[in-house]
Amino acid sequence: MSNAGPIEPAQLAEHTTEAAETAAAVSNTLTPDESCAALAPLTNLDDSSLYIHRELSQLQFNIRVLEQALDESTPLLERLKFLLIFSSNLDEFFEIRVAGLKKQITFAREQADADGLQPHQALARIAELVHEQVDRQYQILNNILLPQLAQQDIRFIRRRKWTSKIKAWVKAYFEEEIAPIITPIGLDPTHPFPLLVNKSLNFIVELEGIDAFGRDSGLAILPAPRLLPRIIQVPEEIGGPGVNYVFLSSMIHAHADDLFHGMSVKGCYQFRLTRNADLSVDAEDVEDLARALRGELYSRRFGDAVRLEVADTCPAHLVDFLLNQFGLSTAELYQVNGPVNLTRLFSVTGLESHPHLQFAPFTPAIPKALQNSENIFQAISKSDILLYHPFESFTPVIDLLRRAAKDPNVVAIKQTLYRAGANSEIVDALVDAARNGKEVTVVIELRARFDEESNLALAGRLQAAGAVVIYGVVGFKTHAKIVSILRRENGNFVRYAHLGTGNYHAGNARLYTDYSLLTADPDLCEDVSKLFSQLIGMGKTLRMKKLFHAPFTLRKTLLDLIAREASHAAEGLDARIIIKVNALTDARMIKALYKASQAGVKIDLIVRGMCCLRPGIAGVSHNIQVRSIIGQLLEHSRVFYFLNSPGDEQLLLSSADWMERNLDKRIETCFPIENKKMIARVKKELESYLDDNTHAWLLQSDGSYQHLQPVTDESANNAQAQLLEKLSIPLIDVS
C-alpha cells in the first residue's frame, strides 16, 4: 500500500477493507512521543464532548470578523467594513440559523447534533454570546472607529453638534425629500399594528394630545421608506471641510413633530425587526418550482420574528409593547447605542476621496499560457491551465465562454449556475451562444439562498434567448461549478471543460479565493459531460474515470483517502493530510479525521468558518491543528491534499465543503490535479496559509480561537499579501 496511487472509484471498497484490517495494528506503531494515542481504542468517538455545536462555531467565525475592526495594521475604512460585515453576517445568522432552531422548538422537533446540545440550550448560549458581542461592536464603533474617522475628516454629525447652518439644511431636506413619502401610522382599533418588512428601519413614536378625529391612542409607527438613504452627505459649504454625514434617523427624530400636526411628540425611537428568511418550498410537492419560489420570495419579507433591535434610549414600556407585538422574549431583544441598521454604512467604506484608508488596488494576473494566445482552445489543448482567483484573473473563464459563443466550430455548451449576479458577463455569453445557434443548456439552481430572485431573472433571460434551462434535481441543490464545451475539430468532436471551487460570479471572483481548472483532458471532460447527462436526463449513476461527485462517490472517496493515510501511519510511513474548506461540520468526516490522528497522521485543517472538530485532545486529536484565515479576501477554495507516498501525492479541488448537506444533499464535484508542477504549486500555497502568523486564528480544544502573532525575532507572514505580491499586478499611482 505504501506505493498506492490515486484512488479510482472502482478501488473504493478495496481500500475501505484494507484500512479496517490495518486499524488493529495502529497502537503497535506509535513512537514514544505519541504514547498518549495508545489509549485511542478506549476512546468513544461518538462522545458529544468531542464535537462543537455548529451554530456556536459559526458565531466564533463572526467574532473573528469583528476582531478585524481592531486590527490597526488594516486600513481604517476596511476596519469599518469588517465591523459592518459582522452586522450583515449576524442578520443572516438570525434569519436562517436562529430561525431554524426556533422552528424545531415550535414544532416539537428538537434534534441534537453530534455535540449533544438541544436547540433550546443552543439558543440560550447564542443569546448570551451575541448580546456580549453586539455591545462590543457598538463600543468599537463609537469609541474607536468614529473618532479615528473624524481625525481623517470623515464625520457622522450627531444632532447635538448640528450648527445653525446644518439645522436649516436638514429642515429643508426633510421637507423636500422625506416628509412627502413617509407615512405615519397611528395605532388604534381601526389601525392595528402594521406588518413590518424584514430588517426595515422603523420608529415607534409616543404622542400626547388628541387628533382631529378625537383619537388619543398615544402611539404611532413610522416605517422609513426603503428608497431613502440611511446616511446623507452634507454639502461642504454647509458642513465644513471633509466628508460629513447625518443619519436619516437623526433627521426623522428632529422633525417628527412636523408629521403629527397639533400633537406633541414625547419620544421617537428607532427599531428593527429580523424575521425568518429561510424559504420553505418543498421541491417534491410543487409542479412548478419557479412559480412556487416567486410566491415564497414575497413571504420571506414577513416570516416569523426572531430578533428585535431597539435604540437603548427607548423607554421600558415601549420596549415591552414591541416585544409583545412580535411575540419575542427579552433574550431576543438587542438594545443598541447607535443606528439599528449598521449595514447601510457600507456606502462609506469605498470613498474615492480617501483611497489611503482602503486596501491597495491590484490587477489579477493573466497566466503566460494565455497572454500571447489568440485561440484559447489551442492554449487549453496544449496543457491544463490552473487559475487561483483573485490573484489570477477570472477573465479567462469569461473569455472561454465568449469565444465559444462566437466560434463556428463550437456545437454545444452546458453549464451550471449557482450564483452569477444580476449583471453577469457569463450569462451574456450564454445568451449570445444561444442566439448564434449553439445548443446551450444551463442547469440553474433557483434555490441559492438570497440569490433566488436574481437566478429567476437570469433563467428568464436564457429561456428568451433559446437556451434550455433546467432547475436541477428534485431534493438536491446543484452546487457544482462546471462547464462543458463540445467543439468540432478536424471532423471529430473534442470536449473542453471548466471546473471550479467557486461561483460563476465575476464580482465574487475579485473578493473570494477560488481555483479554476481549464482542461481538455479527455477523461475528465467526458466525466463532466456524463454528470450533465445525469443532471439533465434520467438514468442510473454513470461510472466516472476521474471525477468524484456528491451525493454518490465523494464522501466515500474522502473517507478512503483519510483511511489510506491512517494505514500508512500504521505501517510506520510518513502520513500527512491538509484540508482547506469553508466549513467542517459532518460528524462522519470528523470521526475519520480523529481516527487518522490516533493512527499518527499529521493533519492540518484550514477552515474559514464553522468547525465542529475539537483539536488538541490527547489520544484523539493531538495530531490535528485547525486554523482560520481572516483577511482582505474571503477564503473560499476547497482543497484536499493527501501525502499518499513520496512522489505520488494526491491533490483534489472541490466545490464541496465538509458538511452533511454538501456530501449528501447537493450535487457537488471533486476533481484531481495530476500535473506535478501544479500539485507542488498548490501545496506551496497551502503551506503559506499554514505559515501565516498575522491573519491566522488557531482553534483551541474548548472551541475558542487564538489570534496568532509573530513572536520575538520572527518575521510576519501574511499569506494573502504574499500571494497578491507573487501572483497579481499592483496598480501604480502615476498621478
Dihedral over Cα of 712, 714, 719, 725: its sign: positive
CATH class of 363-545: alpha beta
Identified catalytic residue from 53, 479, 498, 695: 479
- Length of the chain counted residue by residue: 735
Looking at residue 702, its pLDDT comes to 95
What is the dotted CATH code of the domain comprising 9-53+549-730? 3.30.870.10
Looking at residue 645, its pLDDT comes to 86
Q: What is the DSSP letter of 256?
A: G
Looking at residue 109, its pLDDT comes to 80
Give the domain 154-356 fold.
Answer: polyphosphate kinase like (3.30.1840)
- State the pairing for strand pair 650-654/666-673: antiparallel
Reference 357, options 591, 498, 149, 47; nearest CA is 149
HSE toward the beta carbon, residue 153, CA cutoff 13 A: 10
- Tell me the per-residue pLDDT of 489-534, one tens digit each, with 9 for 90 and over: 999 999 999 999 999 999 899 999 999 999 999 999 999 999 999 9
Residue 479 a catalytic site member: yes
The model carries a pTM of: 0.90
| pLDDT beneath 50: ranges in the chain | 1-42, 284-287, 732-735
Integer Cα distance of 97 and 274 in angstroms: 12
Whether the CB-CB separation of 476 and 551 falls below 8 Å is answered with: yes
Looking at residue 186, its pLDDT comes to 87
Looking at residue 722, its pLDDT comes to 95
User: Please, where are the H alpha helices in 68-163?
Assistant: 76-92, 99-106, 119-140, 146-151
Reference 202, options 78, 310, 343, 349; nearest CA is 310
Looking at residue 18, its pLDDT comes to 39
Integer Cα distance of 160 and 266 in angstroms: 18
Give strand pairing partners of 697: 628, 707
Domain locations in the chain as residue ranges? 9-53+549-730, 154-356, 363-545
Task: Identify the helix (H) or strand (E) that includes residue 248.
Answer: helix 248-254
Looking at residue 94, its pLDDT comes to 95
Whether the CB-CB separation of 585 and 594 falls below 8 Å is answered with: no
How many other CB atoms are there within 10 angstroms of residue 295's CB atom? 11
Residue that has been written with the C-alpha cell 464522501 in this structure: 555
Reference 195, options 260, 252, 275; nearest CA is 275
Close Cβ partners of 251 (under 8 Å, ≥ 6 residues apart): 170, 173, 174, 178, 232
Backbone angles phi, psi at 9, to 5 degrees: -55, -35
